[in-house]
Amino acid sequence: MESSASAVMPGTPSTRTNYDDQIVKMFFTATVVWGIVGMLVGVIIALQLAWWPANLGLPWTSFGRLRPLHTNAVIFAFAGNVCFLGIYHSMQRLLKTRMWNDTLSRIHFWGWQAIIVSAALTLPLGLTQSKEYAELIWPIDVAITVVWVVFAVNFFATIAIRKVSHLYVAIWFYMSFVITIAVLHIVNSLAIPVTATLSYPLYSGLTDALVQWWYGHNAVGFFLTTPFLGLMYYYLPRAADRPVYSYRLSIIHFWALVFLYIWAGPHHLLYSALPEWAQTLGMVFSIMLLAPSWGGMLNGLLTLRGAWDRVRTDPILKMMVVAVSFYGMSTFEGPMMSIRAVNGLAHYTNWVIGHVHSGALGWVGMISFAILYWLAPRLWNRELAHPKWVDAHFWLATIGIVIYTVAMWAAGLMEGLQWRAINDLGQLANPSFVDITARLQPFLWLRLLGGTMYLVGVIMMGINFWQTIRGPGKPSETAPATAAA
């Protein structure tokens, strides 16, 4: 690996500085396993929407129960474990210290996996609180709180014992993740238990909806955005071997982002019974989120200036470019969809699903794959078993995302326009909702195709890692090179 004088990497090899890389490997493995499971369920529900017999006529395998399984698995299991592996790996190096307490790290790991397994059991059984992204029943909610507090204590104690004075921007993003998710989860989950599996939320009606979407939007903001921006700020300059474009931009966009995000939830409740001033507030705060979000994209892309020759050949950098670009795209689309008039067209349609997955597959997925591919040889000190597969994965994923999102945009626009179309007599031009739904089918099949391509890429990645770790493999040339630099 060439390194310019401006960006020497004095990072010492883990063996010498005694970082806890075992915990990183554990979260790494969990990430890949849950990634495959979660996206496989995504493909199954995509099939169910295109072809209903795939529901199998059983309650446990019906769309209504598998959909929350998909969202919980990809968000909390896949994306969550990515965040944890990246945080445990990068924060030790950024703070030049081992994690404060290894036992707490283990409790965090096993606790989190146990929560995921209990989610995977309870959701198909139909045990749910029916709040999107917060479906899990109250005993699991309590467990999440406990495990999160364990993580937070370890996290902040590690910051306290750091051996550097300056906190790198990635750490600020991680902090916003740890603090905000705790607050969101606890406030939104407050409920009165009635039985071991049933509880009633403390809030009712409109208050409940408002709290729910304050939570829901910031789950996107602080689970799928800020920790991943933190990861980007560590892994992108490391992989590109370039200095971060602008320190000042990173400060301004960080504070603007965390301040504005928290108010934007009501854009999920436009044209509802929510008082209109609150809707207006949610809308304008979403508009103001555009530039702070793009600040992250800019800092990512401009950091790659001077490395564009490598971007063309290095699949890891290619994944990062696509990730950051999709981040920019979905954070442009989001503020647009928050405008009342646009939301009136997009709401309840597949356009929202397209928006979700351009962020989820494009941004969260791609940046995660790049990090995993960059880390695996370094963590296990070996060459990747199939370096060429990384490029294949890149193309499968990129083309898969494009097919998925374009199909959903087309489907969403079609639905939105046909629902509201009026004929010459002033009546609905498409009176039958069922007819419009039936017209979606070709797009749903296309989405299945795009999603399947994406899943195949992830499975190839899993096999690649498996053979890298298990197979004979030769010692990596990359890792010692970094260590020696």
Partner 1 sequence: MSRDTNRLLGHADEADGIEEYDNPLPDWWLGLFWLTILWSIGYVAWFALTNQSQVGWYEDEVAAADERWPEQANAAVQFAYSAEAAAAGAEIYATNCLVCHGENLEGGIGVSFIDDEWIHGGQAEEVVAIIRNGELSRGMPAWGQILSPEQVNQVASYILEGHAAATGRTMEEIMAPPAEDGPGA
CA 44 from chain center: how many Å? Answer: 20
Q: Cα torsion for 181, 203, 287, 326, to the nearest 10°?
A: 50
CA distance linking residue 70 with residue 64, whole number of Å: 11
Tokens of 93: 């190096």
CB of 247 to partner 1, least distance (A): 4
Q: Is 426 in the site for partner 1 (CB under 8 A)?
A: yes
Q: Which of residues 373-402 bind ligand HEM (CB under 6 A)?
A: none
Buried residues in 222-235 as b, exposed as e (16+ CB within 10 A): bbbbbbbbbbbbbb
Q: Is 229 in the site for ligand HEM (CB under 6 A)?
A: no
Tokens of 88: 């445990």
CB of 21 to partner 1, least distance (A): 14
Residue from 171, 356, 379, 446 binding ligand HEM (CB under 6 A): 356
Q: Is 208 in the site for ligand HEM (CB under 6 A)?
A: no
Tokens of 212: 């729910």
CB of 71 to ligand HEM, least distance (A): 5
Report the chain's terminal Cα–Cα distance, integer Å.
9
Helix axes 315-338, 290-303, angle to 10 degrees: 170
CB of 308 to ligand HEM, least distance (A): 25
Q: Is 454 in the site for ligand HEM (CB under 6 A)?
A: yes
CB atoms within 10 A of CB 163: 8
Q: Which of partner 1, ligand HEM, none does residue 74 bind to, with CB < 5 to 8 Å depending on kind?
A: ligand HEM
* Non-local CB neighbours of 183 within 8 Å, separated by 6+ positions: none
- Within 13 Å, how many C-alpha atoms sit on residue 485's CB side? 18
DSSP 388-408: HHHHHHHHHHHHHHHHHHHHH
Q: Which of ligand HEM, partner 1, none does residue 288 bind to, with CB < 5 to 8 Å depending on kind?
A: partner 1
Residue from 57, 427, 472, 474 binding partner 1 (CB under 8 A): 427
Buried residues in 268-282 as b, exposed as e (16+ CB within 10 A): bbbebebeeebbebb
Q: Which of partner 1, ligand HEM, none does residue 58 bind to, with CB < 5 to 8 Å depending on kind?
A: none
Q: Which residues pair with 428 in a beta bridge?
A: 422
60-68, 135-143, 249-257, 400-408 -> range binding partner 1 (CB under 8 A): 249-257
100-108, 220-228, 282-290, 450-458 -> range binding partner 1 (CB under 8 A): 282-290
Q: Is 361 in the site for ligand HEM (CB under 6 A)?
A: yes
Q: Is 209 in the site for partner 1 (CB under 8 A)?
A: no
Which residues in this chain contact partner 1 in the complex, by CB under 8 A?
6-11, 90, 93-94, 96, 164-166, 168-169, 234, 237-238, 243-250, 252, 256, 271, 276-277, 279-280, 283-285, 287-288, 290-292, 294-295, 298, 302, 335, 340, 425-428, 431-432
Chain residues in the site for ligand HEM (CB under 6 A)? 39, 42-43, 45-46, 49, 67, 70-71, 74-75, 79, 132, 216, 220, 224-225, 264, 267-268, 286, 289, 293, 330-331, 334-335, 337-338, 343, 346-347, 352-353, 355-357, 359-361, 363-365, 451, 454-455
